[in-house]
Structure 1
Amino acid sequence: MKRKLSILIALMMAISVFAIPTMAHAETGEEGQSEIDYYRIRLVNGNSLPNSIAIGQKLDLDVVGYNYDDEAIKVSQSGWTWEIEQYNDETANVASIDSNGILTAKAEGAIEIYAYSNDNYAYSTTICIGFLESTDGIWLYSNKTAKVMDGYVQGDSSIYAVPDKVIVDDWYGIPDGTYTVTALAKDAMLSGTVKAAVVPDSVKSFGAHCLGYDLYTSTSGVKSYQRVSGFKIYGFSENPASAAYARANGFTYVNINKTTVPANVAKVVKPSKVTGLKVKAGKKKMTVRWKRNTKATGYQITYAQNKKFKKGKKNITIAKNKTTKKTIKKLKAKKTYYVKVRAYKKSGSKKLYGAYSKVKKVRVK
């Protein structure tokens, strides 16, 4: 009896040794020290990417894995495909990146960087090339100047006031102070509904079609600029640069009293980046949690079904500052969702958004 029992125990031990595990695990790092929850793009020295870089500057980049506790895990750099997505599709060659993750900044613009390997991906936050940051269609520069960009005009107002300055106060990553608006970029205020613009004397540079034009597309797809009939430019002195632009383009220039029509001042107080994002999967739903930002008015949750946030993208606005949890229902079962959160602060009728949190990936049950 003892002999049979010994043989049975030995047989069971052999089976346990050679049995194939059936439990699936997340990917681990090179040393297998921890499961990888997500990936990010970092500098090769391990530091975070800068918010802005100069034209001509190079960055040597790596992909780094992170576990659920946001601890960095070294991963193999082979097999990753690098891509750049730039914000302005009409601007060619803003930057380039080679197969080894060497980024070269070539022209002024804003980009995001992506790296892909099988089903894994990593991405960067927005990197500004040649300028510090963008806010509500205005680019800020290190010499404390600012430029109004394409897309500044929003809504259907018939008259727009170009701000003479942008005041930055407690904005993460950007020096506080006053940034003087000195330029209007090409197509800066392209609109058929805007009939007049108030331009401060601080503006010295005017890009092509920056004021008084609209862009039309023919039935054959040909695009052309057309002047806005009766367009007027209001200024604060007799012969500033805006008067010269008006004469060159056939617009009316009007000199007004500076004390009666004050220049518009845009005050920027953006909330800081949201941290502590966690997402838990449920049956056709997910619960999103994040850390409270006491200086924010509210939050915006953005989720989508692909890593670039282009498939099935949806936004949810959280109006209360104290709310730091949201359950999103009626999702598709067995589908993967990507989630990020940012805070916003109201300034008049506008919402000033802070930077997005890290992206979390979750598979709904």
Structure 2
Amino acid sequence: NIDYLSSFIVDNAGDNNAELLGAIQMDEGADDMDSEWADKLARRGISTVNAGRAASMKRQTAASHVFQSNKQDMDRSNAATSEIMFSNSTTSSTTADDSVMKVKTAMSNAISRIQDTKSELSSSMERRKAEMELMTAQKERYEAEVAEGEKMSLWFQSTRRYVASLVGALRDLELKLLEVEHAMLTLMESGTSASLQRQRDCEDDLVSLLKERGMLDSVVGRIVERSSRETEQSNNIDEFGRDLSHLVNKERDARICRRCDLISQKVKELIVDDDCNEILLAAKEYGAITDAEENDTDEESLLSRKQALNMAMDAAVSNTSDEFLSLPGMVRVFQKWEQEFPDEFKSCCASTTFIGLASVLVRLELFQNW
């Protein structure tokens, strides 16, 4: 019985009867086991087996319920999955069509934008090319202007130095020329006034002679105004009441004699032979000379003073460079200036400057040929 019970417990008992099984195995060799204890043990084993069976049934029922619940959940999950998959397949098909349309629309818009961008870039490139050509033309023009400006600057530097030196030299020469010209004019005026006075004396003397001889009215076509000497002769009384007419007549006769002697002497110097034609020509040439009374001393004094003024002018000119005394050279410089740079020539009033500078050289040449 014990062996059967043990095998029964082993086959039907669960984990909770392991202790009982151990106890039976420990006591299977006892010889003094009584029947009461065996019955108790059998009942205990049977109750234990029944309890194990009940527990096993409960576990199987619970497992079955769990399995059924899990199966139902699985079925519901599969159904939901199928629905989702079907829905997803339908939605995916519709979404794919919509996506294709959207992609086509987006691509069309992108192509339009790309074409617009290409057109804008082409227009921008054309503008840039036009701007580049304009900038290139401006660059070439600026380079030409710079080259022209450099040429102009170099020419103006040399011309400025020449003109500045020319103006300074001719202004200094002009101051000296003014002084010498004034002295020469004074000298010539004094000589001319003396000559005019001798001419008036000669005319008065001739009028007096003609009047004394009754020939004054026979001069046809000549109306002589009353001269100052004739007026003096009409009043030949000085402040003391003395009659001075004889002194006036004496001076007049002396002048006439001296004049006749000088004219005769000069006529003889010109006559080589006793040719009547030469005598008539000499008399005609010197018959109207009124400077015949001028002696050699006065003439030498006038010439010496004139030579002194010429020497003073030569000394003033010697301090000036020959480069600045050449009128043709100055004309060439100003002509080149006017031809190459007409605007600057006008803005600098170079023509007026040229006239002022050229007048100094012209006056100098006139003085040297005086």
Q: How high is the TM-score relative to the length of structure 2?
A: 0.17
Structure (1 or 2) with the larger CA radius of gyration: 2
Q: How high is the TM-score relative to the length of structure 1?
A: 0.17
